[in-house]
Structure 1
Amino acid sequence: MKEVYITKISKFLPNRPISNDEMEEKLGIIDGKSSKGRRIVLRNNQIKTRYYAIDDNGNNTHNNAQLTKEAVEKLYDDNLKPNEIELLSCGTSSPDQILPSHAAMVHGFLKNGNTEINSPSGACCSGMNALKYGFLAVKSGQTKNAVCTGSERTSSWMKSDTFEEELKYLNTLEENPILAFNKDFLRWMLSDGAGAFLLENEPKGDLPLKIEWMEGYSYAHELEACMYAGADKLESGFLKPWSEYPSDQWSKKSLFAMKQDVKLLGENILVKGVDSLKMAIEKHGVKPEDIDYYLPHISSYYFKEKLYQEMINQNVEIPWENWFMNLSKVGNVGAASIYIMLEELASSGKLKKGNKILLSVPESARFAYAYALLTVC
């Protein structure tokens, strides 16, 4: 088995950062009324800026595959030519189409010659699953290198025309503000962007990051779907897919809008997250105090202190001073968040040889979690 190193990291954030005051102009006002939920959600998530693949005239500037292509091309240098990529593994929760696969579309834009492609599906963990496929390919010796990506282009899903039916009862927010989380909150959290890692079997570059191990856990056997799109959730908890509805119902029921069962989220996301964290680090004999940088992908700062408290409750406390996050600046970029977070840390000048970095990615779709431990070489 080979050792595997992240030897280069890149990111692509489209256009300019969008402030909280500009969001509704970009995404559109629903039913001619400013969102009552927006202020509630932004106060909780504490995101200040985010990025959209939409220009100042309201035109789309990139699709998801194009965002990913831009991030991959930033990896090119004298040590990596386009036609030298042996594996392209691309994760996203917002592909541009059902078929062809996301990685196939990215490869089509890259035009870099023949290569193996892989497209893990899912939500935020799809980016980590893309990384794990590349990690295992290089580790097993199947390839000498792999380019792994996470990306999202959710702005087009968040535009007002998608949510007209979903939010027609917006006036009930004043009576029960939690509906803002159920119906409206994803519009004020999600961001567009892409990140890419180059994996190699030799420690190249200034501060290569050795991937020590990766672990993943799903709780779908215990819990019903929490975040979903392309389906309607029935009273029983069963997800009825779009393909079982007449086509005239797709827009009337906003079947392709992203939705979140917030009650289910609040009851489970942190408890199961720390439970899986304990399993991962105990399996590999890692103690919380061994971790120099903890990079948690969280959707909102609303969960930050609650996550810390749950760590204390389960005796796996990682001190605050070891946490590294950039949610307030870039927003929730889903599958790309962990790539963009690690790129910022690696570019900060803070890392020293021997530092241990723990990547932690939850996925609320049906509660899955992915982890990776890195060592700075």
Structure 2
Amino acid sequence: MFEVYITKAGKYLPNEAVSNDEMESFLGMINNTASKARRIILRNNGILSRYYALDKSGNPTHTNAELTNKAIEELYDAAFSAKNVALLSCGTSTPDHLLPSHAAMVHGLMRNQSVELNSSSGVCNAGMNALKFGYLSVKAGNTPNAVCTGSERVSTWMKSEKYENEISNLKNLEEQPIIAFKKDFLRWMLSDGAAAFLLENKPKGENPLRIEWMEAFSYAYELEACMYAGGDKLENGDIKPWSDYESEEWLTKSVFSIKQDVKILDQHILEKGALSMKAALDKNNIKPEDITYFLPHVSSHYFVEGLRKSLVEKEIGIPAEKWFMNLKHVGNVGSASIYLMLEELMNSGKLRKGDNVLLSVPESGRFSYSYAYLTVC
């Protein structure tokens, strides 16, 4: 087995940062009505700016694959180019197509040579799953390196026009609360971007990070789906798939919109997060005092204090000064968020040899969690 190091990180955030007051001009107003939920949601999530792969007229400027490829290009230098990539492992919640796979579309833009591909789907853990595939490949000696990515281009999913048919027969949004909250809610939470890691079997660069371990947990066996798209939830909690709807219903029911069951989210997201994190730390004999930097992906600052309390209750509380987050100025970029956080920390000048970094990623899709423990070498 080989040691595995994150030797370089790159990112790509499209266009200019979008402020809270500008969001609706990019995404549009549903039924020509300003969102009543927007200000409340933004006040709770604490996000001040984010990025969209849209111009000011709402036209797409990049595909998800293009965002990803641009982040990968940030990894190249005189010693490493696209021709040196052995494995490409890409995670996203919002691929450009149902098929071919996201990784295949990114590889098509790289125009390098034949490489092994892996595409990870899901929600926020798609990026961590892509990272774990690359980690295991390099560790086993299957490949000498791996380029792993997390990316999202969700803005085009959230444009107001995607909801117009569903509300065309309604006088106002209040007649259909699911539009005003269940679907409108996520329009003010999510944004676009991509980031990439280069994994190698030898330490290189200024502050290479050795991946000590990665752990993952799923609670789908006992909990129903919370965040979903491409279907709709039935009364019994099952999700009816998009292909079982009549084609006209795809629009009238906004079947492809991203939805979240917030009641289930509040009930389980923190409890299962603390439970799984304790299990990961206990399994690997890590104490909170061993952690130099804690990078938690949270969808909203609304959850930060609750997460702190939940960790304390499990006796794995981490002091606030050890938390490193960039949600306020980067936004919630789903599977790319943890990559963007670590990229910023790696390039911040804060890291010192011997520091330990814990990555924590929850996914509300059907409640799964991923962790990675890194050491600065």
Pairwise TM-score range, normalised by the shorter structure = over 0.9
Partner Cα distance (2:133, 2:244) in 1: 32
> 2:123·2:335 contact (CA, 8 Å) conserved in 1?
yes
The residue correspondences of 1:245-260 to structure 2 (distance < 5 A) are: 245-260=245-260
The residue correspondences of 1:323-342 to structure 2 (distance < 5 A) are: 323-342=323-342
User: Could you say which residue in structure 2 is the equivalent of 1:171?
Assistant: 174
Could you say what secondary structure the match of 2:157 adopts?
Answer: coil
> 1:51·1:193 contact (CA, 8 Å) conserved in 2?
yes
Q: CA deviation at 1:183?
A: 2.8
User: Could you say which residue in structure 2 is the equivalent of 1:185?
Assistant: 185
Partner Cα distance (2:166, 2:328) in 1: 27
Q: CA deviation at 1:120?
A: 1.1
Q: Tell me the percent identity.
A: 63
User: Could you say which residue in structure 2 is the equivalent of 1:225?
Assistant: 225
> 1:41·1:181 contact (CA, 8 Å) conserved in 2?
no
Supply the AA of the counterpart residue of 1:243.
S
1:48 aligns with 2:51: no
The residue correspondences of 1:1-377 to structure 2 (distance < 5 A) are: 1-164=1-164, 170-171=173-174, 181-377=181-377
> 2:25·2:56 contact (CA, 8 Å) conserved in 1?
no
Residue correspondences, number: 374
> 1:17·1:50 contact (CA, 8 Å) conserved in 2?
yes
Could you report, residue by residue, the CA deviation over 1:172-217 in whole angstroms, capped at 9, with x for unpaired residues?
A: 69xx8x9855231110010100000000000000110000000000
Partner Cα distance (1:56, 1:184) in 2: 20
Could you say what secondary structure the match of 2:117 adopts?
Answer: strand
Could you report, residue by residue, the CA deviation over 1:107-130 in whole angstroms, capped at 9, with x for unpaired residues?
A: 001111111110011110000000
Supply the AA of the counterpart residue of 1:198.
L
Q: CA deviation at 1:289?
A: 1.1
Partner Cα distance (2:203, 2:188) in 1: 40
TM-score, L = length of structure 2: 0.97
Partner Cα distance (1:127, 1:284) in 2: 22
What is the RMSD of the two structures over their aligned residues, measured on CA atoms? 1.4
Could you report, residue by residue, the CA deviation over 1:299-344 in whole angstroms, capped at 9, with x for unpaired residues?
A: 0000000100111111110111100000010110000000000011
> 1:12·1:194 contact (CA, 8 Å) conserved in 2?
yes
Partner Cα distance (2:283, 2:173) in 1: 47
> 1:41·1:180 contact (CA, 8 Å) conserved in 2?
no
Could you report, residue by residue, the CA deviation over 1:15-43 in whole angstroms, capped at 9, with x for unpaired residues?
A: 00000000000001110110000011001
Could you say what secondary structure the match of 2:324 adopts?
Answer: coil
Could you report, residue by residue, the CA deviation over 1:111-162 in whole angstroms, capped at 9, with x for unpaired residues?
A: 1111111001111000000000000000000000000000000000010012
Supply the AA of the counterpart residue of 1:146.
A
Q: 1:166 and 1:258, CA in 2 relative to 1: closer, same or farther beyond 3 A? A: farther
Q: CA deviation at 1:79?
A: 1.6
Residue segments in structure 2 that go unaligned for 5+ positions in a row: none
Supply the AA of the counterpart residue of 1:70.
K
Partner Cα distance (1:27, 1:325) in 2: 26
Partner Cα distance (2:369, 2:38) in 1: 28
> 2:90·2:150 contact (CA, 8 Å) conserved in 1?
yes
Partner Cα distance (1:270, 1:58) in 2: 35
Q: CA deviation at 1:170?
A: 2.6
Q: CA deviation at 1:163?
A: 2.6
Could you report, residue by residue, the CA deviation over 1:222-270 in whole angstroms, capped at 9, with x for unpaired residues?
A: 1000000001100000100001111111111100000000000000000
Q: CA deviation at 1:57?
A: 3.2
> 2:6·2:198 contact (CA, 8 Å) conserved in 1?
yes
Q: 1:341 and 1:181, CA in 2 relative to 1: closer, same or farther beyond 3 A? A: farther
Deviates more, 1:308-317 or 1:87-96: 308-317
Q: 1:3 and 1:166, CA in 2 relative to 1: closer, same or farther beyond 3 A? A: farther
> 1:83·1:114 contact (CA, 8 Å) conserved in 2?
no
Supply the AA of the counterpart residue of 1:350.
K
> 2:94·2:152 contact (CA, 8 Å) conserved in 1?
yes
> 2:18·2:49 contact (CA, 8 Å) conserved in 1?
yes
Residue segments in structure 1 that go unaligned for 5+ positions in a row: none
Partner Cα distance (2:182, 2:295) in 1: 27
> 1:128·1:370 contact (CA, 8 Å) conserved in 2?
yes
> 1:89·1:148 contact (CA, 8 Å) conserved in 2?
yes
